[in-house]
Structure 1
């Protein structure tokens, strides 16, 4: 049997015999509480900024520097996100994937309580930083763990549960914020409770953490083979668990001989290509403006002539639609090539922004003068998020986690989350001023570079769908490194068997 045939046999056998178990669903579902906590804490600022009691308490309705303070609330959240993304690699590689989820859960829990209890604007802004750190740490750490405990043929569907849970957190934040707007206590502090509720999902995740499995890949990387075997036996049947254990073991043998430094991400061609793709994808999808439109949704609705209660209701509808489309995306993501799904998704969501910009530019934003134009503009915002969640949001996190080999996956996710955070610092910091001064022209900042990304994604990005994590390296020219160890192991086994037979004959 030739080496090529042996590689093909290992590849086909591994993919087609992999078993799916309900245990996979249970552990993914439990970890989704951490994802939900991230979504809630990231989204709650949208409805909080529309609460009259919040604006009055911090005097944001009268202060001359109100726009600057609101920008800082969002900007510091993203600054915290940048530092949180660094923790993904530092903690995940040294202390384990579970620990890299536990620490940010604690950060979100503590910062959520302090945000709800803030007594001045300085305290609120400071804990927005820590909330951003914990939230975005979770954003990257959870899909790393999920990708390493799920089978290739179902990985897209199961890891996309992370995105669906994020969106459920967004939905919850929107409707909780809207509900408390209509609750008028004597103390006029209804803005506090919605901020405090972000503690609940991460607390539940922390309660489950003891029973959730550690990544078998990380366990083997740290010479804990028996623990890894026990985890794999829970995830697959015995034959498949043994097969995956051998493949991971062989891969780690190779990993230990490979460069693992940050500098190697730029000096080694296959790693450099991954780095360029990761940065490009992070930058490109954020250039569609998805976080700006979510965080400043009430501001956008106000510019269309809606009052505060209508702004909150439409924001709730926006995130509810996003959640529904995120659920549908679970059943779509594995049916099409990853890069084509993201390229088409980018082009479609930008098309809705083009129409939105044209409507706002052509008609005054008042519901009484142009009711049909208002309805069309609102429809475009809703179509925007529908396509973004169906085609883009979950797919990007799956792609990030699949793109990198085991020994560099946490570093790769760190690069992705840090890039997203840096791009969002820029957009969220300038958005209030931009909406106030240039209005619809701000959309052009997303449309032009976004279409450039869509073309590049279609042409240059590879498809990683349905491939085992140890097999994706072949796309980047690492095939020899990935398969050399299994081939050598097979040859050694055959040689030993031949010698044994020869001894018996003698």
Structure 2
């Protein structure tokens, strides 16, 4: 098999891999552009001399200024935590598509409120607007991976959900560079720092308009009994007739899964919570949350939100130099996200990426921490002729190497896994749990990073490195490989032991069942009724 060859759960017509699913996934992924932009621009905006001057940062003590910055950054994550939970309710009643429309509109209101802030009014409008904007992106972070995974053929599901991560990195790239460009081309002024806040409205507006034209998730429509509309949307996405054998099998898969769940638990807003009584479901919710504990334990969001502070700890001084270094960091992340999206996620697999990324990233963090402890670069950073030593250059190299390990592994893979590991009726609740965990741990990092650097210094790097080492063992023993597994077969995947062999064993089972069905159908050629019955029996067995 070539590196771009797709590994399919069953023979798939080429029409299924069409432009429509890519367009729908791309439009939904503009939610991630908004999230990525905000995570990147806010740290460098707070470091702009024009922003610091207008809001009188010089009058604050070191500790009080750290607290103020942390509050500005972290209220956004606090809002996102609640937004991700609210999205469960909107998803149940409104669907995936209308939830995207609703939460993108909430974000735009919050972003608009921020534009009213100035030195006379104080930071209240920025803080209040960021809470509201956070609710908006929290809801979108819940809905986007679910929507994409539910319209995706299994063989390219990782790639399509990966568009969400690509959107995140594209927004981040703009966010990392915008203040470097403004500081180079504009004199310090109110306009200089307000522009980055205004740019937030662009990707949110594209999502709001685009979501008006994309179809609702067929799986959600099936779950609500709107079969005719669901079949219509599915035939449009797959570019196949409703009576095509591939589409017939997919429809039967979805309906069988829904019927099975309804028989065990039933329909209703609170019914999925009853599934939490099952230990197996509890375990999956725990795994989904822990993936984001590990993701944030890598230290990436400390870098995203406080990149000037991070680079200062290595010995890089001057706001423009810090902005430039941060911008290069954004370029590295975005470039490697393309590699992850097009090749790695659906070929190397989820488990291998996470373990390699955590192991390599830990080594880099240990090196950076050791350099800071030995060289103490901050003690010479303020001198007039200060420049990076060879050790400092090596530390910067290892910082970018850390980025190269982290980006194609922990950046987007937890979102892919969480979009795949739940059945139809717990998927929205499971994603709400995952998104809430993501934003909760984002909040913790955003709220305490500045104080951690003030108190621990190089110890911050050792702390994150050690957490990454632990995550290698967590993934190996707890996370099964979901690559190429149909969503309707995920329950069976999580039943198989040992975890590290489950994917191969399940794919072998599915292939064996497919061969048996084909043999039966081959012997029944000419009898359409028996062929149809054989297909039904095969899908029920699978």
Q: Same fold (TM over 0.5)?
A: yes
Counterpart residue number, 2:443? 425
Counterpart residue number, 2:4? none
Deviations 1:426-450 (A, max 9, x none): 2221111121232111122222232
| 1:32, distance to aligned residue in structure 2 (A) | 2.5
Superposed, 1:36-435 pairs within 5 Å as 36-64=33-61, 65-119=64-118, 120-185=122-187, 187-236=189-238, 237-238=240-241, 239=244, 240-259=246-265, 261=271, 263-303=273-313, 304-330=315-341, 331-365=343-377, 366=380, 368=386, 370-435=388-453
Q: CA RMSD in A?
A: 2.4
Residue 371 to residue 14, structure 1, CA distance change in 2 (3 Å) = closer
Greater alpha carbon shift after TM alignment, 13-22 vs 371-380 = 13-22
SS at match of 1:464: coil
Deviations 1:40-79 (A, max 9, x none): 1232212111111111111123223221111111221111
Measure, in 2, the Cα distance between the counterparts of 1:234 and 1:302.
52
| 1:496, distance to aligned residue in structure 2 (A) | 11
Whether the 8 Å CA contact 2:272–2:425 is kept in 1: the answer is: no
Residue 205 to residue 223, structure 1, CA distance change in 2 (3 Å) = same
Counterpart residue number, 1:438? 456
| 1:350, distance to aligned residue in structure 2 (A) | 1.6
Gaps of 5+ in 2: 1-6, 497-505, 511-528, 535-542
SS at match of 1:456: helix
Asked if 1:31 is matched to 2:33, the reply is: no
Measure, in 2, the Cα distance between the counterparts of 1:474 and 1:497.
24
| 1:173, distance to aligned residue in structure 2 (A) | 1.1
Measure, in 2, the Cα distance between the counterparts of 1:386 and 1:177.
23
TM-score (norm 2): 0.83
| 1:214, distance to aligned residue in structure 2 (A) | 0.6
| 1:409, distance to aligned residue in structure 2 (A) | 0.7
Say how many residue pairs are matched.
476
Whether the 8 Å CA contact 1:20–1:235 is kept in 2: the answer is: no
Greater alpha carbon shift after TM alignment, 199-208 vs 363-372 = 363-372
Residue 420 to residue 34, structure 1, CA distance change in 2 (3 Å) = closer
Whether the 8 Å CA contact 1:149–1:216 is kept in 2: the answer is: yes
Gaps of 5+ in 1: 1-11, 484-492, 499-506
Superposed, 1:486-497 pairs within 5 Å as none
SS at match of 1:118: coil
Whether the 8 Å CA contact 1:357–1:440 is kept in 2: the answer is: yes
Deviations 1:5-60 (A, max 9, x none): xxxxxxx9963225211211222222222221221123221211111111111112
Counterpart residue number, 1:489? none
SS at match of 1:211: coil
Measure, in 2, the Cα distance between the counterparts of 1:135 and 1:263.
24
